[in-house]
Chains A and B, each alone.
Chain A
Amino acid sequence: MAGIPLTTPLREADLRPLRAGDWVSLSGTVFGVRDATLMRICDRGVAPPVDLRGAVLLHTAPNVRRVGDRYEPISVGTTTSTRMNRFTAPLLERHGVRAVVGKGGLLEDSVEAMRAHGAVYLTIVGGAAAWETQHVEAIEAVYWEDLMPECLWQFRVRDLGPLLVSIDSHGESLYARVRDDARRRLQGLLGGGA
Chain B
Amino acid sequence: MGHEPVGPRASPDAAVAGTAFYDAVEAAAAALYLRALVDVPPDVREALRQAYERERHSVSRQLLGIILRNIEIADERRTLVCQDTGTPIYYLRAGTGLYLDGARVADALRRGTERATREHSLRSSVCHPVTRENPQTNTGYRIPAIHWEFAAGADYLEVLCVPKGSGSESMTFLRMLPPADGVAGIRRAVLESAVEAGANPCPPCIVGVGIGGTADQCVALAKRASVRRLGTRNPDPEVAALEGELLEAVNRLGIGPQGLGGDTTALGVHVEHAYTHITHNPVAVNMQCWRGLRATGRVRADGRTEIET
List A residues at the B interface (Cβ < 8 Å): 1, 21, 23, 36, 60-66, 74-80, 82-83, 103-105, 123, 125-134, 148-149, 162, 164, 166, 174-175, 177-179, 181-183, 185-186, 189-190, 194
**Counting CB contacts under 8 A, is B23 at the interface?**
no
The contact of B81 among A80, A129, A175, by CB within 8 Å, is A129
**Counting CB contacts under 8 A, is B20 at the interface?**
no
CB pair A175–B123 under 8 Å, yes or no, is no
The contact of A174 among B77, B79, B125, B260, by CB within 8 Å, is B260
Provide the main secondary structure of the chain B interface. loop
1/0 per position for B63-98, CB-CB distance to A under 8 A?
100110111011001011111110000000000000
Q: Of the listed stretches B3-11, B107-115, B249-257, B266-274, name the one at the interface; the rest are far from the partner chain.
A: B249-257
CB pair A182–B202 under 8 Å, yes or no, is no
The contact of A123 among B83, B170, B200, B258, by CB within 8 Å, is B258
1/0 per position for B13-37, CB-CB distance to A under 8 A?
0000000000000000000000000
Chain A hits for B254, CB < 8 A: 178, 181-182, 185
**Counting CB contacts under 8 A, is B167 at the interface?**
yes
Chain A hits for B124, CB < 8 A: 149
A26 CA / B67 CA spacing, docked (Å): 19
Chain B hits for A131, CB < 8 A: 66, 69-70, 73
**Counting CB contacts under 8 A, is B279 at the interface?**
no
The contact of A74 among B79, B132, B167, B259, by CB within 8 Å, is B79
Provide the main secondary structure of the chain A interface. mixed
CB pair A79–B79 under 8 Å, yes or no, is no
Q: Of the listed stretches B140-148, B188-196, B234-242, name the one at the interface; the rest are far from the partner chain.
A: B188-196
- The interface centre, meaning the residue of B63, B79, B199, B202 with most chain A CB atoms within 10 A of its CB, is B199
B contact residues, total (Cβ < 8 Å): 51
Q: Which residue of B lies closest to A181 (CB)?
A: B254
Knowing that A61-B123, A125-B66, A129-B83 are A-B contacts, what are 6 other residue pairs whose CB atoms are under 8 Å apart, sorted by A's residue number? Answer: A63-B121, A103-B202, A127-B67, A164-B63, A175-B259, A182-B255
Q: Can you report 28 residue pairs joining A to B where beta carbons are below 8 Å apart?
A: A21-B59, A62-B83, A63-B122, A66-B121, A74-B79, A75-B123, A77-B80, A77-B82, A79-B167, A83-B170, A126-B82, A127-B289, A127-B291, A129-B80, A130-B70, A149-B124, A149-B125, A149-B134, A162-B66, A164-B59, A166-B260, A174-B59, A174-B261, A175-B260, A178-B198, A178-B259, A182-B253, A189-B249
CB pair B70–A190 under 8 Å, yes or no, is no
Q: Which residue of A lies closest to B58 (CB)?
A: A21
CB pair B80–A130 under 8 Å, yes or no, is yes
Given contacts A76-B83, A128-B67, A190 and B191 within 8 Å (CB-CB): yes
The contact of B167 among A60, A65, A126, A164, by CB within 8 Å, is A126
Q: Which residue of A lies closest to B82 (CB)?
A: A127
CB pair A104–B167 under 8 Å, yes or no, is yes
The contact of B289 among A60, A66, A126, by CB within 8 Å, is A126
B181 to chain A, nearest CB (A): 12
Chain B hits for A181, CB < 8 A: 254, 261
CB pair B260–A186 under 8 Å, yes or no, is no
CB pair B188–A62 under 8 Å, yes or no, is no
Q: Which residue of A lies closest to B71 (CB)?
A: A130
Q: Which residue of A lies closest to B40 (CB)?
A: A127
CB pair B166–A80 under 8 Å, yes or no, is yes
A79 CA / B167 CA spacing, docked (Å): 7
CB pair B84–A125 under 8 Å, yes or no, is no
Chain A hits for B77, CB < 8 A: 130
CB pair B261–A129 under 8 Å, yes or no, is no
The contact of A128 among B70, B165, B198, B200, by CB within 8 Å, is B70
A130 to chain B, nearest CB (A): 4
**Counting CB contacts under 8 A, is B99 at the interface?**
no
Chain A hits for B81, CB < 8 A: 127, 129-130
The contact of B253 among A36, A74, A133, A189, by CB within 8 Å, is A189
Q: Which residue of B lies closest to A129 (CB)?
A: B83
The contact of B80 among A23, A63, A82, A174, by CB within 8 Å, is A63
